Amino acid sequence: MPEIDLAYLPIIGRGEQINIICRMHGIKVNMLMSKPMGDDFDKDIEAPFGTVPWMKDHSNGLVLNDSMAIVQYLVTKYPGPLTPRNVDNAALVSMYWAWCQDYYSFVLSPLHDIITGHNEPFWRNLRLTDTLADGGKSTGVKNLTILHSNRSERLEKHLAASDIAKPFLIGKTCSYADIFLFTSVRTVQKTGGFGLMREEIGNDPFSSYQIISSICDEVAKITEVKEAIGSKLSDCPI
């Protein structure tokens, strides 16, 4: 069985998609909890870019320090149900994964900082979205909720006009982009910290986006997804 070391944090974030992909592709994961939320790994010293997720493949010693690089490497090196079947599919999957990455970077990550209290200018500048500059926490949550709605509405309209987005993003087959969409949406819907956004909206932040919600519901039915995610959505703070 292929085997990797995966360093991340005890949150859903960008790391859980990798864990699910490995479960679906028969890859053993040795999970390392990184500082500042764990003691197995020091990202500032051991990761080339000082960030997580970080991965090391036992088969060849390859080290990767970027979520896109890790995801694309795993589905290519160890083909399975999430591996794109042709060039066209690969391009579409990359495009949808990039939407998830942008959504995570510009909506979820700044909300992480509000939830966890990372108010220092360093963190705000790093996120590229200075949500706490003026108006404080309440303004930051309000602004990011608006950005959430704008981004989600664009994806929903695009999927509504597509003739292939059923039941998954590119048709009948689940892709690694569907997995990232699922973990991002469920983070907002289920984790404790994102109650801030749910309170701001007054309900499920994705209740108006039926196609997005339907795709995530289909992903949630996959046995390996259920096994990998377990109780993490209720256990993880964000």
Which region, left, alpha or beta, applies to residue 73 given φ > 0 means left and ψ of -120 to 50 means alpha? alpha
Residue at 143 is within a domain = yes
CATH number at residue 20: 3.40.30.10
Q: What value does the mean pLDDT take over residues 39-63?
A: 96
Which residue, of 77, 112, 131, is where some domain finishes? 77
**Could you tell me the pLDDT band of residue 116, with boundaries at 50, 70 and 90?**
confident
Which residue, of 77, 95, 118, is where some domain finishes? 77
4 CB-contact burial (10 Å; exposed 0-12 / middle 13-18 / buried 19+):
buried
- 224 and 203 in a single domain? The answer is yes
* Distance from chain centroid for Cα 95: 14
Half-sphere exposure of 211 (CA within 13 A, CB side): 19
**Which positions ≥6 away from 69 have C-beta within 8 Å?**
none
Which residue, of 23, 43, 77, is where some domain finishes? 77
Asked if residue 92 has pLDDT above 70, the reply is yes
Residue at 141 is within a domain = yes
- 228 and 121 in a single domain? The answer is yes
- 103 and 153 in a single domain? The answer is yes
pLDDT digits (tens, 9 = 90+) for 2-18: 999 999 999 999 999 99
pLDDT digits (tens, 9 = 90+) for 126-166: 554 555 555 667 888 888 899 999 999 999 999 999 988 89
- 217 and 140 in a single domain? The answer is yes
Q: What percent of the chain has pLDDT over 70?
A: 92
- 222 and 120 in a single domain? The answer is yes
Residue at 124 is within a domain = yes
Residue 160's domain comprises: 87-235
- 219 and 157 in a single domain? The answer is yes
More confident residue, 144 or 32: 32
- 175 and 103 in a single domain? The answer is yes
- 111 and 229 in a single domain? The answer is yes
Residue at 82 is within a domain = no
CATH number at residue 117: 1.20.1050.10
| Residue for token pair 């500048």 | 125
Residue at 142 is within a domain = yes
- 73 and 183 in a single domain? The answer is no
- 66 and 137 in a single domain? The answer is no
Residue at 30 is within a domain = yes
Return the pLDDT at 121.
56
- 21 and 109 in a single domain? The answer is no
- 35 and 135 in a single domain? The answer is no
Please tell me the total count of domains within the chain. Answer: 2
Say whether pTM exceeds 0.85.
yes
Q: What percent of the chain has pLDDT over 90?
A: 80
pLDDT digits (tens, 9 = 90+) for 59-76: 999 999 999 999 999 999
Residue at 9 is within a domain = yes
pLDDT digits (tens, 9 = 90+) for 199-226: 999 999 999 999 999 999 999 999 999 9
Q: Cis peptide before 53, with omega less than 30 degrees from 0?
A: yes
